[in-house]
Structure 1
Amino acid sequence: MNQPLTPETAPKKGMSTVVKVLLGCGVGLLLLFGSCVVVTGYFAKKTLGGITDFAKELESNPDAAAVKAAAMALRLNPELEVLSSDPAAGTITVREKKTGKEITFNLEDIKAGKFSITQDGETTNIDVDASQENGGQMKVVTDQGTAVFGAGAQELPSWIPIYPGGRSEGMANIEAQGEKTGTFTLRTADAPDVVIALFKAKLEESGFTVETASLSFNGAPSGTLNATADKRQLSITAAAQDGETQALVSYNEKP
C-alpha cells in the first residue's frame, strides 16, 4: 500500500447517533486547532513591525492576543462569518454560512489550554493539555458524554487483546450514555497475517465470532478482521508499510 494507514474515528457499524455527534465535535475541534497554523502563516506575511507589535501584546495581554489570533483563524474559514470579536471579554461569535447557526467561542482561559463553545444553548468544554507530564491530550466534554484524544485515551477496554511487542499511538475514545467507541493505530515488525492471526485466536478464545480476509495492494500484503460478541465489536485493517505493519484498530461497546 503506498499510503500509510490513517486512524479513523470509529467503527462504521452499530454506532449510535450521540456517539457520531461527539465524534464530529471532536474532529471539528481538531480542525479548529489546526487553523492556528494558518495564523502563523498570516503573520509571516506581515511587516516586521506588525509581528513585533503582536509579540508585545502576547507578553502584556496574552488573553486578548489569543482572541485576536483565533478570530483571524476563523476568518480564514470560508464557511464561517465572524460576527463579533471581543478581546476584553474573551469571546468570538461566528455564523455558519450554510446553516445560519451562530456559535460563541469563549477563549478567556485559552492559555491554560481550556475553552468552551456554546451552540444552540448547549455548551461544550474543551481541555487541551500539552504538558510533558500528561503526554499531550485533548478532552471534549458535553452533557451527553466525553471524548478524549491523545495520551489521555490510552486506557483500552480490558476485552481488547494486547499485542505483544507492539506500540500503540493515535488513540481516541468516546464514552456517551454508557456506549464506548474508540480507535488507535498499532505498529509492529510482525507481518500483517501474523497480526490478524494473533487477534483472531485471542478473540475467538474470548467467545467472539471472527471474520478475516487477506489482501494485497501493489504487492504489499494486508489483512482485515471483524469480530463481534454480544454488544462488542472490533475491526482491524493491517498493512505492510515502510518496513513494518501498521494496523488500524477500532472498537465499539454498547451498554
Structure 2
Amino acid sequence: MAGDLDFEKNPTKAAAMIALRMNPDLEVITVNDATGEVTVKEKKSGDTITMSFDDIAQGKFTIKNAKGETVTMDASNAEKQGVVVTGPEGQTVIGGSQSAPPDWVQLYPGATNTGGMRNEKGGSVNGSYAMETTQNNEIVSKYYGDQLKAAGYETNVTATSTADGDMTIINATKDEGKRTQTVMIQTLDGKTHIALSYSLEAAN
C-alpha cells in the first residue's frame, strides 16, 4: 500500500492513512479514492467504520459503527479546548479547558492541572480531574475534608502510609447519593498529587 502514502498526489489521504496506522486498535479494510473515504475495522469489537480523509487529516472526523450509531471526534483545537467526542453516550471532553469540572467540584487553590475528562448526557455529568501542588498531604487533606463538609457532603476518610508516600482517600456524597466526589491525595517525590472524580445524576 505504498501508494497510500504518496504526499505529492494526495497529501490529505496520506496524512489520514498515517493517522490511522498509528492506532493499533484499527485495521484498514478498504480505501475508496473516488469518495475520499477509508473503511477500517475495530479489532476489539469487530465493528466496521468509515471515515473521511479530510476529517481525519484535520483532526475532526465521524465514525459509524455496525449499529449505525455515530461518534464524532474533534481534535482540531485539542491543545486549548481538548478533544471533544460526541456520540450515543453524550459528549466527552478529554484535556483542555473544556474538561474542567463543574463549579460544585472543589479545586485546590494554586494547584496545577495535569489532565482531565468530562462527560455530559441528559443533565447527568461525571468526570475526573488531576492536579498537583507543593503543599503536603496533611494540608491538602484537611482542606478537602473541611470544604466538603461545609458544602453539605457526608464524608468517609481513609488514610494509609505506603513505601511510595502517604495517601488519603475522601469519599463524599450528597443529595441522597446523586451527587458524589472522590478525592485521592498522595505525596510522591516532593509533590502532592490530587485525583478528583465526580458524578451528578440528572433529576427525574
TM-score tier, shorter chain, comes to: 0.7 to 0.9
CA distance in 1, matches of 2:20, 2:103: 43
Alignment partner of 2:152: what SS? coil
**Matching residue of 2:196:** 249
Taking the TM superposition and a 5 Å limit, the aligned residue runs for 1:1-255 are 54=5, 57-58=6-7, 61-73=10-22, 77=24, 80-96=26-42, 99-119=45-65, 120-130=67-77, 135=80, 137-218=82-163, 220-230=165-175, 231-255=178-202
Give yes or no for contact 2:125–2:200 (8 Å, CA) kept in 1: yes
TM-aligned CA deviation for residue 156 of structure 1: 2.3
Would the alpha carbon gap of residues 71 and 244 (structure 1) be closer, same or farther in structure 2, given more than 3 Å must change? closer
TM-score in terms of structure 1 length: 0.69
Q: Match of 2:179, as an amino acid?
A: R
Deviations 1:131-158 (A, max 9, x none): 7xx6251001124411111113244212
TM-aligned CA deviation for residue 129 of structure 1: 2.8
CA distance in 1, matches of 2:35, 2:114: 38
The unaligned stretches of length 5 or more in structure 2 are: none
Would the alpha carbon gap of residues 121 and 187 (structure 1) be closer, same or farther in structure 2, given more than 3 Å must change? same
Would the alpha carbon gap of residues 59 and 206 (structure 1) be closer, same or farther in structure 2, given more than 3 Å must change? farther
Q: Match of 1:135, as an amino acid?
A: K
CA distance in 1, matches of 2:75, 2:164: 41
Farther off after superposition, 178-187 or 90-99: 90-99
Give yes or no for contact 1:210–1:226 (8 Å, CA) kept in 2: yes
CA distance in 1, matches of 2:113, 2:48: 38
Would the alpha carbon gap of residues 200 and 64 (structure 1) be closer, same or farther in structure 2, given more than 3 Å must change? same
TM-score in terms of structure 2 length: 0.84
Structure (1 or 2) with the greater strand fraction: 2
What is the number of equivalent residue pairs in this alignment? 197
CA distance in 1, matches of 2:27, 2:113: 39
Give yes or no for contact 1:144–1:177 (8 Å, CA) kept in 2: no
TM-aligned CA deviation for residue 201 of structure 1: 0.5
TM-aligned CA deviation for residue 113 of structure 1: 1.9
TM-aligned CA deviation for residue 66 of structure 1: 2.0
The unaligned stretches of length 5 or more in structure 1 are: 1-49
Give yes or no for contact 1:67–1:91 (8 Å, CA) kept in 2: no
Q: Higher relative CO (CA 8 A, sep ≥ 6), structure 1 or 2?
A: 1
Give yes or no for contact 1:68–1:85 (8 Å, CA) kept in 2: no
CA distance in 1, matches of 2:113, 2:37: 37
RMSD across aligned positions (CA) = 2.5
